[in-house]
Structures are given as structure tokens and as C-alpha cells.
A = this chain, B = another copy of it.
């Protein structure tokens, strides 16, 4: 064996992180289609790189992540990354951007789906707990919080694509709630951030203190919904 060159002189690593995805040379694209064409293989590799990058960036932050580790984890050579991404920063930004697409879908789908604002918020909370908290999507959120200030274009993108849309959706919901008399505090309308704040804090909490003091996120979000709607919940 070769000893890949990890922590210089036996310094721990602090971050369990191996198991290169052996790159499944025989894996066909998701559909059971014909044998993998070159294009399909390339797309798979690109995905593997992005997935590996997510793990590494989320675990170490942008500056401390080594592309060699990303490559190893993706099961490709270092140079291969550069066939798909101009440089480390492009990979990082692309990662966040592409990872956001399903996140946006998930979360903006929720409010649109239902009748009552309260039910919509509860569905949002449930979706958030299931699909964000403790998942890669949560890592991405924390990544943006952590690195956003250093990547203005990324912060702007995130604001434009996720934050402003999400908040606009929230405002719609709140308007309905106010109109129906379910929400009494009309000021919330000006600050839809108040509605989402506990979800953000939950993501951060789990990242920082999850090991020390796990948080019952679902219960917390429900308590928050009760607060907004000014009533006891039945559950």
C-alpha cells in the first residue's frame, strides 16, 4: 500500500473522511439504459466530484479543503477536476449553486401546496426537518453561512435565488394568515425572517452543538409555529 500522504506527521485528521467511491466503472446511468457512453461517464464523474466536494468543503471549509482529497474521494485524479471546473473556487461555487436547485425546489414547493397557512408552515417545518437538518443540504446551508462573506457573488446568488424567493413565499403565507385572522401580529409581514429564523438556528445548532446538546428541532419549530399563530398546538 502506498500511504496517500495525509496529515504530515501523524497528526490526527479530525475528520473521518475516506472511502473513495470506487467510481463504479460499470455503473450505467440511473435509467437501465444502454452501456454508458462517454458523455454519461463524464456526467457521472462530474457528479462524483461535486458530491465529494460537498463532503470536503462542508467538513473543512473552503480554504482548508484540498483538491487532492476531493479527487481521492471522488475516485478521480487531481487533474480530472480541472476538466470540469476552472479552479477550486469555480468548483466551490458550482457546488453550492447546483446543490441549491433541489433545495429551492423542496422548500418553495411546500408552501405552495396547501390550504391553510398553518398547515403550510407545518409542512415546511416537517420538510425542513426531514430534508435539511442532518443532511447534505444542511451542510450546504452552513457552508453558505460560513463562507458567504468571502464569496460575495455567491452570497448574492443565494440571496437572489433562495432567500428573496423564500421570504416572498413566506410573506404570501403571512398575508393569508393575517387576512384569515390566524395571525394577529401584522408586523411579522415586514420581517418574514422571523418565521425562518428558528430553522436557520436549528441548522447551525446541530452543526456546532449537535453532539453536545442535541436539539429536538421538530418540537422547536412547532413551538415556534404556535407562537406565530398565537395558540396551543394540539399535537
Q: Which residues of A contact B (CB under 8 A)?
A: 1-15, 59-64, 142, 144-152, 155-156, 158-159, 163-164, 184-185, 187-188, 190-191, 193-194, 196-198, 200-202, 204-205, 207-209, 211-213, 215, 219-220, 222-224, 226-228, 230, 232
Contacts and interface: CB of A to CB of B under 8 A. Distances in A.
B147 A145 contact: no
A84 B9 CA distance: 20
A188 B12 contact: no
A188 B190 CA distance: 23
A63 B149 contact: no
- Copies of chain A in the complex: 4
A66 to B, nearest CB: 8
Contacts of A188: 223, 227
B185 A194 contact: no
Contacts of A201: 193, 196-197, 200-201
